[in-house]
Amino acid sequence: MQVIETQHPEVLLLRPKVFGDARGFFFESYNRKAFAELGIDAEFVQDNHSRSAQGVLRGLHYQISQPQGKLVRVAAGEVFDVAVDLRRSSPHFGRVAAFRLSAETHEMAWIPPGFAHGFQVLSDYAEFLYKTTDYYAPQFERCLLWNDPALDIAWPLDGASLLSAKDQAGLPLVECEVFA
Ligand SMILES: Cc1cn([C@H]2C[C@H](O)[C@@H](COP(=O)(O)OP(=O)(O)O[C@H]3O[C@H](C)C(=O)[C@H](O)[C@H]3O)O2)c(=O)[nH]c1=O
């Protein structure tokens, strides 16, 4: 597993060793011991899988209680993935880490608890898979406005063709509940 830096020291892009042969490919998408050796000693309790059409933007979501660390990857297509540090005590509070994830590169990203997360689909469609370190708790879910000017996120596609009502109602960072 190769670790690639992002704009944020705690958000890690992970490039797995991929075994290709005439049949196709194989790679370990998660290995507790190997990840612990990388410093990602997280215990995952939930796996999620979503499919979205091109232009769909999901996010930027976080749970103010039961915050979720996320190991994210794309099984089909390509997305522009974004994480924002919402920990007021962090020297990188408000910092954005953004990168592309695709089925072609098999790259994954580790996003620790305390970050808002979202993505925009760049391909015709994308299948997005991720593990979380705590359970879904809708009562604690909050939404950071995807196009908050203070974040200056360079989303590759203009606007968002499909946003949930929840995401359209996201709050700018200055109005968001954040972590200590
Ligand atoms: C997240 C989640 C959702 N749901 C149900 C609730 C809704 O009836 C339906 C769609 O939920 P939502 O529109 O919140 O799904 P996304 O917009 O993909 O939300 C995710 O988007 C960004 C990318 C994230 O990082 C979060 O993990 C997550 O909030 O699935 C569940 O049953 N369990 C869950 O863990």
Looking at this predicted complex, what is its ipTM?
0.98
Helix (H) or strand (E) holding 142: strand 141-143
pLDDT at position 153 is 96
Cis peptide before 145 (omega within 30 of 0): no
Q: What is the whole-number distance in angstroms between the Cα of residue 119 and the centre of ligand 1?
A: 12
Q: Would residue 6 count as lying in a domain?
A: yes
pLDDT at position 52 is 97
Q: Would residue 76 count as lying in a domain?
A: yes
Q: What is the whole-number distance in angstroms between the Cα of residue 63 and the centre of ligand 1?
A: 11
Beta carbons within 10 angstroms of residue 130's beta carbon: 21
SS (H, E, C) 11-49: CEEEECCCEEECCEEECCCCCHHHHHHCCCCCCCCEEEE
Q: Would residue 180 count as lying in a domain?
A: no
d(CA 62, CA 164): 15
pLDDT digits (tens, 9 = 90+) for 78-91: 999 999 999 999 99
Residue of minimum CA distance from atom 7 in ligand 1: 138
- CATH number of the domain enclosing 26: 2.60.120.10
pLDDT digits (tens, 9 = 90+) for 107-135: 999 999 999 999 999 999 999 999 999 99
pLDDT digits (tens, 9 = 90+) for 15-45: 999 999 999 999 999 999 999 999 999 999 9
Structural domain of residue 130, as residue ranges? 2-175
**φ, ψ (nearest 5 deg) of residue 167:** -75, -30
How many domains are contained in the chain? 1
d(CA 143, CA 18): 35
pTM > 0.80: yes or no: yes
User: Are 24 and 57 contacting, i.e. CB atoms less than 8 angstroms apart?
Assistant: no
Q: Which of 62, 106, 117, 130 is catalytic?
A: 130
The best mutation among 11, 48, 86 to test binding of ligand 1, ranked by most ligand atoms within 8 Å of the C-beta, falls on 48
